[in-house]
Every structure is written in structure tokens, then in C-alpha cells.
């Protein structure tokens, strides 16, 4: 087989957990649990094939609109997952995964924020793959947060408004310092971004599929990468 070009940064919208559970007559929370296991598996596989950055969309700023039972089931799942990962620190370090949480901190329970901080701190020296987990993430809010930081610099006289560039935005969003996603994957049959990486995806390639996230396999990731290899990225050129 011809050597394929593995995207440096892949973004994944982990969608379809609820429908997966419904198909099985299970509560939606069971779909989220199944989805979390797939997250683990795909994260390991991405590392294995040489992906450098991977961003998983786990909870959007709009997901607070869901029934309180579902929101709290999701928060419980994040909490349990992060506590468990904390116990396996050594193993995680060996895996070389540097974890970042992307999102707006306000609104997230304090104990979960503390788990974000310790997880990031403990993994900060890992250098094989950067794993971004987007929780309480919204692309528009991310841009608003960046604009506020830049406005503060203007107020302090550090920068003139006419000198603001695209790089200033890129350097003040949650993914500052990372390459933009080359490929964005959305399973579950929806054809939209739902406020995911809207600044960063200006020139991303998109891959959609009807597979529900808990059914997503390594072979599906391979298929997405193979299709990506047949795309012609022009970036506005010829
Ligand atoms: C994605 O699955 C998980 C989150 C948004 C937290 P959904 O819960 O949106 O699953 P569907 O879309 O209802 O099937
Ligand atoms: C997008 O899925 C958010 C996550 C997967 C975390 P949603 O299920 O919330 O998106 P919509 O509501 O169908 O656009
Ligand atoms: Mg959904």
C-alpha cells in the first residue's frame, strides 16, 4: 500500500451516544459511557498511527440545555473518568499523552476544574501526542474570550487596535500554539459543526458518516484518513 499521509491534527465530534442507547432500549447515560470507552480506544489508536494533535468534542456550551439528569450524568462521567486516569498516571506518562482541556471554565463544577488542572499539570512533559478534550467548549465563546484578552492588551497600551492580526486571535484562543485541524470527523449522520473549532477549521477537510460514536472503530478512523488522502487541499491556491 502506498504510504498514506496521516493528518497532523484531527478533530472529532463524538456524536450519537443518545441514539445508540435508544436503539438498545438503554438510558442515554449508557450511551455516554459506551462513548467514553470509544474515546479511549480511538485516542490510543491515533497515537499509534502518529497523529500529533487530536481534539475530542465532549460537551458543548449548548449542551447545558439538556435535561438536568443528563447534564449531571455527563459531569459524573467526566469526574469518574478523570479520577480513574489520575490513578493511572504512570501508565499515561508512558503513553506520552499531553492532555489539554479546551473550554470556558465558568460553569464547570469546581472539583472537575481541579481535576482538569492536575491532569494537565501531570501530563505537561509528555511529548508524543497532544490530546485536547473540549468540555464546556463553544467556538463562538472561545473567540469572545480571545477578543476580551486582546481588548485588555489594547487597554493596557500593549497593542494598537490597527495592529491586531489573525495571529493575535490564533494566539489567544484555547488551542494557542497548536496547528489547526487538518481533518474534522463527525459521525451520527449530522452535517454540521455545532460550534466546534469554528476559527481553526477555516481550511479543514470534513468527513461525515452515519456511524454512531459508540460504534466507531479504528477501521473507521482509517477510512476517514484514506478519504482525506484523496482530497486536494488548495488553501485558495491553484
Ligand atoms: C454526543 O452524543 C455526546 C454529547 C453531546 C455530550 P449525543 O448525546 O448528542 O447523542 P445523540 O445525538 O442524542 O444521539
Ligand atoms: C455536538 O453534539 C456536541 C458534542 C458532541 C459534544 P450535539 O448533539 O450537541 O449537537 P447538535 O445539538 O445535534 O447540533
Ligand atoms: Mg447529538
Query: What pTM, to 2 d.p., does this model score?
Result: 0.97
Residues in Cβ contact with 195 at an 8 Å cutoff, skipping those fewer than 6 apart = 60, 61, 62, 137, 138, 139, 140
Q: Which ligand is nearest to the CA of 102?
A: 2
Q: What residues are labeled active site? A: 15, 63
Residue identifier of the C-alpha nearest atom 1 of ligand 2: 194
Burial status of residue 10 (CB atoms within 10 A of its CB: 0-12, 13-18, 19 or more): buried
Please tell me the predicted confidence (pLDDT) of residue 150.
98
Cell of 134: 473540549
**164 C-alpha vs ligand 2 centroid, how far in Å?**
32
Please tell me the predicted confidence (pLDDT) of residue 181.
98
74 ligand 1 Cβ < 6 A: yes
**50 C-alpha vs ligand 2 centroid, how far in Å?**
27
* 15 close to 186: Cβ distance less than 8 angstroms: yes
59 ligand 1 Cβ < 6 A: yes
**pLDDT per residue over 53-91, tens digit each?**
999 999 999 999 999 999 999 999 999 999 998 888 878
Other CB atoms within a 10 A radius of the CB of residue 153 amount to: 14
| Ligand 1 atom index nearest CA of 20 | 14
> How many residues make up the chain in this entry?
238
Residue 46 to residues 1, 21, 39, 41, 119, Cα–Cα distance (Å) = 19, 25, 10, 9, 20
Q: Which ligand is nearest to the CA of 56?
A: 2
CA quadruple 85, 86, 91, 94: dihedral positive or negative? positive
| Ligand 1 atom index nearest CA of 74 | 6
188 ligand 1 Cβ < 6 A: yes
Q: Which ligand is nearest to the CA of 57?
A: 2
DSSP the chain: -PPP---SEEEEE---HHHHHHHTT--HHHHHHHHHHHHHHHHHHHHHHT-SEEEEEEEETTGGGS-HHHHHHHHHHHHHHHHHHHHTHHHHHHHTEEEEEES--TTS-HHHHHHHHHHHHHHTT--SEEEEEEEEE-HHHHHHHHHHHHHHHHHTTSS-GGG--HHHHHTTSTTTTSPPPSEEEE-TT--S-TTSSTTTTTT-EEEE-S--GGG--HHHHHHHHHHHHT----TT--
Residue identifier of the C-alpha nearest atom 8 of ligand 2: 15
Please tell me the predicted confidence (pLDDT) of residue 172.
98
**32 C-alpha vs ligand 3 centroid, how far in Å?**
11
Please tell me the predicted confidence (pLDDT) of residue 42.
98
Extract the residue ranges of the chain whose pLDDT is less than 50: none
Residue 158 to residues 149, 168, 176, Cα–Cα distance (Å) = 11, 12, 19
Cell of 205: 477537510
Please tell me the predicted confidence (pLDDT) of residue 90.
79
Amino acid at each position: 500500500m502506498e504510504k498514506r499521509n496521516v493528518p497532523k491534527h484531527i478533530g472529532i465530534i463524538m456524536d450519537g451516544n443518545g441514539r445508540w442507547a435508544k436503539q438498545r432500549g438503554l438510558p442515554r447515560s449508557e450511551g455516554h459511557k459506551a462513548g467514553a470507552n470509544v474515546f479511549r480506544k480511538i485516542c490510543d489508536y491515533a497515537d499509534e498511527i502518529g497523529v500529533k494533535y487530536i481534539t475530542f468534542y465532549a460537551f458543548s456550551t449548548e449542551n447545558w440545555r439538556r435535561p438536568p439528569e443528563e447534564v449531571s450524568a455527563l459531569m459524573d462521567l467526566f469526574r469518574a473518568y478523570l479520577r480513574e486516569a489520575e490513578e493511572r498516571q504512570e501508565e499515561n506518562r508512558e503513553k506520552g499523552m499531553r492532555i489539554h482541556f479546551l473550554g470556558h471554565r465558568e460553569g464547570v463544577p469546581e472539583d472537575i476544574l481541579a481535576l482538569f488542572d492536575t491532569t494537565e499539570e501531570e501530563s505537561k512533559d509528555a511529548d508524543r501526542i497532544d490530546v485536547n478534550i473540549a468540555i464546556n467548549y463553544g467556538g463562538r465563546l472561545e473567540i469572545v474570550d480571545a477578543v476580551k484578552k486582546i481588548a485588555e492588551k489594547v487597554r493596557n497600551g500593549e497593542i494598537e487596535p490597527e495592529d491586531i492580526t489573525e495571529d493575535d486571535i490564533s494566539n489567544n484562543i484555547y488551542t494557542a500554539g497548536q496547528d489547526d485541524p487538518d481533518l474534522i470527523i463527525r459521525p451520527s449522520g449530522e452535517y454540521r459543526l455545532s460550534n466546534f473549532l469554528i476559527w481553526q477549521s477555516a481550511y479543514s477537510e470534513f468527513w461525515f458518516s452515519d456511524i454512531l460514536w459508540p460504534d466507531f472503530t479504528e477501521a473507521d478512523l482509517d477510512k476517514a484518513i484514506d478519504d482525506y488522502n484523496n482530497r486536494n487541499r488548495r488553501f485558495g491556491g491553484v
